Each structure stands twice: as structure tokens, then as C-alpha cells.
């Protein structure tokens, strides 16, 4: 890579997705240049780690333009671009890494699914969110055309389309083993869908209509949704202040106030809620809404947070955004180091 090109990538890169390999020992990032980078967590945390270990062990062009989202399944790394989702076989990725060859140029997706009927090339919708239901072998995605798509991956067929949002979808999460879907949109709503019903949302939450969290000067959009392990609590945010909601009663439980800051990420981790957004830090909250800590990070805006909590060893939390750096936390109370994509 030419030095001038590398400098531009370092300056202008946005990392929009992070996820871990099935074993939890490799981290994949996707970025605004269409590149996929893979890091070895074991090497990074090894006793003899050097600066070079903080660089990708593999990097390849995944899409022609921005990659907006990424998700890991037991077999595939899924990446969402403009009107398409690609599946990259983790076994093939591992083979290229272990052979230490130039095989990255030969990496091809195992399959590609395209959004149907999007109109002209100028109307291609971005894929902002992808989730996967193991029990049904179904993939769910949403993005720029405001539609939720459900594919049966057994045959690669589009199974259903959920229509109801009036503006593009930023985020989604699955509930009840994929039988239910919660989506957050630019239209200001969190819509709760049951795929077994008629295709209409069974419930709608509109945080911007709640005085405790409404921020008209910031906006109405919802850019993050997350569920706790018991699936009783929802964290969501964006234009309105980030907030915790009790799903059974559909009631606001606790505002998580960060004045002037919008959230792009909200997730439950161990016994806390972690949020990130338009400030260079991650915020930690108790489940009762008390602000517990503010942890500095390298990005002016955080776009993605992920963890490998189920890994047998080297459990870490990572975040990335408006930088080519990926911050890694071995203890969630402080940043241990930063990986570098370019």
C-alpha cells in the first residue's frame, strides 16, 4: 500500500462493524473503504506481543464501497454493503491466515444475497444491521429502504418482508430465538415484530414522545437497540436520550442522560449497560440508571462495540468508530491497547 494512500485511510477511515470468530480468538472489522481486517487476539495479548501484532493478520477487499455492518455465525462472517450481504467462510479465512500466504486475493464469498427490487443503482439501500437465528437458520437484515428482510438460509430464499417503518432502519435485535424482532429507525420508533403474526408490529415504542428522554433539538431517530439476556429489558437511544425500557409493561424505566450526546451503541454486558456514541468514551450504567463510569477511548464517535464474552480464554471488549484504531479492553474499566487497521 502506497504511503500516501495509507495516510488517507488512517485519517478518513470509519469502522462500522466488529465481530469475533466462532472461537473468539480472532476479531474482524469492516470499514468505510470496503475492507475486512482480521486480528489475532491471542497474539495481541501474548506475553511477547510487539507493535506488529496490533496490525491485521489478514486484510482483504470485501465490498466495492462502504461496509455498514458485520455479524459472525458458527460458520460465516456476514458483511452488509450496498443492497448486498456477503458470507465469508471462517474456515477459509483461518486457512489463509495459517498458511501466511497471499491467499487474501483469492478469498471469495461463499454466497451473496442481494436486496430485491430496490430500483435504480442510485437507490441501493445500505445494510445497516444483520442478525442470525440459529434455531431457524434465518438471517434478518434492515437498512436504507426501511424494510426488514428475513431469509431462509437453507435455500437462500427470501421468506418475508416486514414493512412499517417510514424511514431507514439503523439497528435491530432478535428476541425469543428469532421469533420476534425489534428494530430502531430514523422515524423515531422501535417496532416490535412477531414473525408468526400477520406482518404488522405487535408493539411500537416511541421514546421521543416521552418527556423524560425527548430531545427535539437533537432529533427523534433511534440508532441502537439491545436486550438483556433474560429479554426483559431494552436499551435504546439516538436523538432521544438513551433509556432503559421494561418490555412486559412497555414502560420507561430509566433515562441514561448524556446531554448533547447521541448514542450509536447500547448493550448489556455482565451486570452493567454500556453505551457509546458521539463522544470519545464509553459510558457504564447500572441497571437502575445510575452513571457508574466514563471510560476514554480513541474515537471521537463510537460506531460499534463488541465482545467475546463466551470465549474460553482472552475475553475482551472492543470498540471502534471514527478512526482506524480499535480499542481493546481486557478490563472494562480501562483501555488496555489499540489495534491499528492501517
The model's pLDDT over 19-33, given as tens digits with 9 standing for 90+, comes to 999 999 999 999 999
Predicted confidence at residue 155, as pLDDT, reads 86
The residue-averaged pLDDT of 76-91 equals 97
Q: Is 301 within 8 Å of 264 (Cβ atoms)?
A: yes
Compute the half-sphere exposure of residue 218: CA atoms within 13 Å on the CB side of its CA.
Answer: 23
262-280: pLDDT as tens digits:
999 999 998 899 999 999 9
The residue-averaged pLDDT of 184-204 equals 94
- Report the C-alpha gap between 329 and 104 in whole angstroms: 28
159-176: pLDDT as tens digits:
999 999 999 999 999 999
206-264: pLDDT as tens digits:
999 999 999 999 999 999 999 999 999 999 999 999 999 999 999 999 999 999 999 99
The region of weakest confidence among 118-132, 183-197, 248-262 is: 118-132
Is 70 exceeded by the pLDDT of residue 103? no
- Report the C-alpha gap between 121 and 97 in whole angstroms: 35
Mean pLDDT of the chain: 94
Is 60 exceeded by the pLDDT of residue 1? no
Predicted confidence at residue 126, as pLDDT, reads 97
Q: Is the pTM of this model over 0.85?
A: yes
Predicted confidence at residue 123, as pLDDT, reads 81
- Report the C-alpha gap between 184 and 234 in whole angstroms: 11
Is 90 exceeded by the pLDDT of residue 106? no
Amino acid at each position: 500500500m502506497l504511503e500516501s494512500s495509507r495516510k488517507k485511510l488512517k485519517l478518513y477511515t470509519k469502522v462500522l462493524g466488529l465481530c469475533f470468530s466462532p472461537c473468539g480468538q480472532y476479531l474482524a472489522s469492516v470499514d468505510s473503504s470496503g475492507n475486512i481486517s482480521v486480528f489475532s487476539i491471542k497474539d495481541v495479548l501474548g506475553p511477547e506481543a510487539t507493535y506488529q501484532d496490533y496490525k491485521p493478520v489478514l486484510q482483504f477487499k470485501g465490498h466495492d464501497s462502504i461496509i455498514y455492518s458485520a455479524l459472525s455465525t458458527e460458520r460465516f462472517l456476514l458483511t452488509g454493503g450496498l443492497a448486498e450481504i456477503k458470507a465469508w467462510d471462517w474456515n477459509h479465512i483461518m486457512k489463509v491466515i495459517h498458511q501466511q500466504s497471499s491467499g487474501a486475493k483469492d478469498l471469495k464469498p461463499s454466497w451473496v444475497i442481494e436486496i430485491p427490487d430496490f430500483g435504480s443503482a442510485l437507490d441501493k439501500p445500505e445494510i445497516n444491521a444483520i442478525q442470525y437465528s440459529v434455531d431457524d437458520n434465518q438471517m434478518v437484515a434492515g437498512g436504507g429502504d426501511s424494510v426488514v428482510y428475513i431469509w431462509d438460509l437453507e435455500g437462500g430464499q427470501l421468506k418475508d418482508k416486514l414493512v412499517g417503518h417510514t424511514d431507514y432502519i439503523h439497528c435491530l435485535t432478535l428476541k425469543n430465538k428469532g421469533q420476534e424482532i425489534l428494530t430502531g429507525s430514523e422515524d423515531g420508533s422501535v417496532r416490535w415484530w412477531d414473525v408468526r403474526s400477520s406482518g404488522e408490529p405487535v408493539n411500537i415504542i416511541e421514546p421521543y414522545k416521552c418527556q423524560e428522554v425527548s430531545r427535539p433539538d437533537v432529533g427523534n431517530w433511534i440508532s441502537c437497540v439491545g436486550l438483556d439476556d433474560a429479554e426483559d429489558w431494552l436499551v435504546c437511544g439516538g436523538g432521544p436520550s438513551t433509556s432503559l425500557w421494561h418490555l412486559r409493561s412497555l414502560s420507561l424505566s430509566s433515562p441514561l442522560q448524556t446531554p448533547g450526546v447521541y448514542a450509536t451503541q447500547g448493550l448489556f454486558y455482565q451486570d452493567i449497560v454500556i453505551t457509546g456514541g458521539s463522544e470519545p468514551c464509553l459510558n457504564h450504567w447500572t441497571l437502575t440508571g445510575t452513571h457508574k463510569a466514563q471510560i476514554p477511548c480513541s474515537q471521537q464517535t463510537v460506531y460499534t462495540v463488541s465482545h467475546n464474552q463466551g470465549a474460553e480464554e482472552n475475553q475482551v471488549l472492543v470498540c471502534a468508530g471514527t478512526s482506524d484504531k480499535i480499542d481493546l479492553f481486557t478490563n472494562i474499566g480501562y483501555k488496555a491497547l489499540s489495534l491499528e487497521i492501517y
